[in-house]
Amino acid sequence: MPNIGFLGEPVLLKNVGKPAALTVDGYRQGGGYQALAKALAMQPAAVIDMVKASGLRGRGGAGFPTGNKWSFVPKEAKQKYLTVNADESEPGTFKDRVLMEEDPHQLIEGSAICCWAVGATVCYIYIRGEYVEAGDILERAIEEAYAKGILGKDVLGSGFELDMVVHRGAGAYICGEETGLLESLEGKRGQPRVKPPFPAVVGAFGMPTVINNVETLCCVTHILDRGPEWFKAIGTDERNTGPKLYAVSGHVEKPGTYEVPIGITFQELLDLCGGMWRGPSGDGPARQLKAFIPGGASAPVLTAADRHIKLDFDTLAKAGTMLGSAAVMVMDETASMLQVAKRSAKFFNHESCGQCTPCREGTNWLEVLLTHAAHGEATTQEVDLVPQVAKQIGGNSLCALGDAAMMGVGPIVEKFRDEILAEVRAAATHAHGNGNGRRAALPVLQGA
């Protein structure tokens, strides 16, 4: 069983650790599939209104209001699709995996509700290839749902026809970008499309397509079940509502998936995780917080001074960062910010699809610069070039991956510049002292 925790009543994670919930009967015992039955008795437009009223915003990263997204789908189209984005690949993010492995019917139910609301008759669950077990569990659950009349020709006896298919990706970050996902789903090279047109108008196979994150659709199940007012009552304000999963990793005592009201402060979340790490033995002094990334590798880093910030969409945006996928990565005083920046740059360089100039060339340049720095071979000017290069990627790229690289790498170097320069100098001295004589030490000292 994965490490999980709650603040208040668990809703999304209530079935974690209950193997019975993997079956339709077990899921029904906990009240499952009542929300779907309720939705099928409503007009689709009323379902959309209900989701709109709940204030639910997308849990994948961009935070787009879900009800609005659904309402953009043209009603007259002959064929519409729902594509569940289960390509959870933002570094540090593992919340959707828990949902799919522990409670697949919750996702199936939420997806079916969405399909009814927008008039989609086919639902693709695009899951990253590495999630082998989650994919298997979903496939078994879908098979049983067909057998029990929850999917197929006649959903719960309503006459609504719905097919659901698990489609496994081959493991590319870019296929989590919604149009890259669609290209991959269509069997093409996974690279983003020019927008507009947006997928709600021209999506999978040229037809209107809603693309929602796993957690978003799981929330829909409970909004139908308990009503939008219940959902809205949870959270910071009416733009930041509902229960939220945070995937906490790094130097904390109990890393794991936490379900808390959206907008909890970082410090409260940290306390829920047992505070900062106490070392491998578990009884040392708690480490000092140096930095944390609030929303996956794409989100600008925050420092210990920001520890009381509310972890919701708008507060984080105001602070120049973002909630993103709510993957909270915590770093203590031993973390090398140079290595963090370099690893991040390496990730984005590796995952850039290569079609647009700034992302293809810029992410590579970032990694080159930071690799030099890590070897003690970079001048101060080259270290300062990192945020500059990052800024000329961001805003200019074809899709959000370029922006992600800008936000994920640049601010680390900006906010921890002195520390990183000291690291570069130390590495240079070390390299020099070892006599392996990489060409470098002097320019760094001169540049500084």
Q: Decide: is 443 part of the binding site for another protein (CB under 8 A).
A: no
Q: Decide: is 358 part of the binding site for another protein (CB under 8 A).
A: yes
Residues 190-249 close enough to bind another protein by CB under 8 A = 191, 194
Q: Decide: is 181 part of the binding site for another protein (CB under 8 A).
A: no
How many residues touch another protein (CB under 8 A)?
28
Q: Decide: is 356 part of the binding site for another protein (CB under 8 A).
A: yes
Binder among 16, 112, 172, 323 for another protein (CB under 8 A): 172
Give the 3-state DSSP-derived string for the chain, with helices as H, strands as E and coil as C. CCCEEECCCCCCCCCCCCHHHHCHHHHHHCCCCHHHHHHHCCCHHHHHHHHHHHCCECCCCCCCEHHHHHHCCCCCCCCCEEEEEECCCCCCCCHHHHHHHHCHHHHHHHHHHHHHHHCCCEEEEEECCCCHHHHHHHHHHHHHHHHCCCCECCHHHCCCCEEEEEEECCCCHHHHCHHHHHHHHCCCCCCCCCCCCCCCCCCHHHCCEEEEEHHHHHHHHHHHHHCHHHHHHCEEECCEECEEEEEEEECECCCEEEEEECCCEHHHHHHHCCCECCCCCCCCCCCCEEEEECCCCCCCCEEHHHCCCECCHHHHHHCCCCCCCCEEEEEECCCCHHHHHHHHHHHHHHHCCCCCHHHHHHHHHHHHHHHHHHCCCCCHHHHHHHHHHHHHHCCCCCCHHHHHHHHHHHHHHHHCHHHHHHHHHHHHHHHHHCCCCCCCHHHHHHHC
Q: Decide: is 365 part of the binding site for another protein (CB under 8 A).
A: yes
Beta carbon of residue 392, minimum distance to another protein (angstroms, whole number): 4
Binding mask 313-352 for another protein (x = CB under 8 A): ------------------------------------xxxx
Burial grade of 68 (CB within 10 A; 0-12, 13-18, 19 or more): middle
Q: Decide: is 368 part of the binding site for another protein (CB under 8 A).
A: yes
Q: Decide: is 89 part of the binding site for another protein (CB under 8 A).
A: no
Q: Decide: is 357 part of the binding site for another protein (CB under 8 A).
A: yes
Q: Decide: is 295 part of the binding site for another protein (CB under 8 A).
A: no
Beta carbon of residue 409, minimum distance to another protein (angstroms, whole number): 15
Q: Decide: is 174 part of the binding site for another protein (CB under 8 A).
A: yes
Beta carbon of residue 339, minimum distance to another protein (angstroms, whole number): 20
Beta carbon of residue 184, minimum distance to another protein (angstroms, whole number): 12
The smaller minimum CB distance to another protein, of residues 191 and 240, is found at: 191
The smaller minimum CB distance to another protein, of residues 162 and 174, is found at: 174
Beta carbon of residue 362, minimum distance to another protein (angstroms, whole number): 6
Beta carbon of residue 422, minimum distance to another protein (angstroms, whole number): 23
Residues 381-410 close enough to bind another protein by CB under 8 A = 385, 392, 395-398
Binder among 75, 153, 189, 430 for another protein (CB under 8 A): 189
The residue range among 21-29, 86-94, 140-148, 356-364 that interacts with another protein, by the rule CB under 8 A, is 356-364
Beta carbon of residue 436, minimum distance to another protein (angstroms, whole number): 18
* Residues at the interface with another protein (CB under 8 A): 172, 174, 189, 191, 194, 349-358, 360-365, 368, 385, 392, 395-398
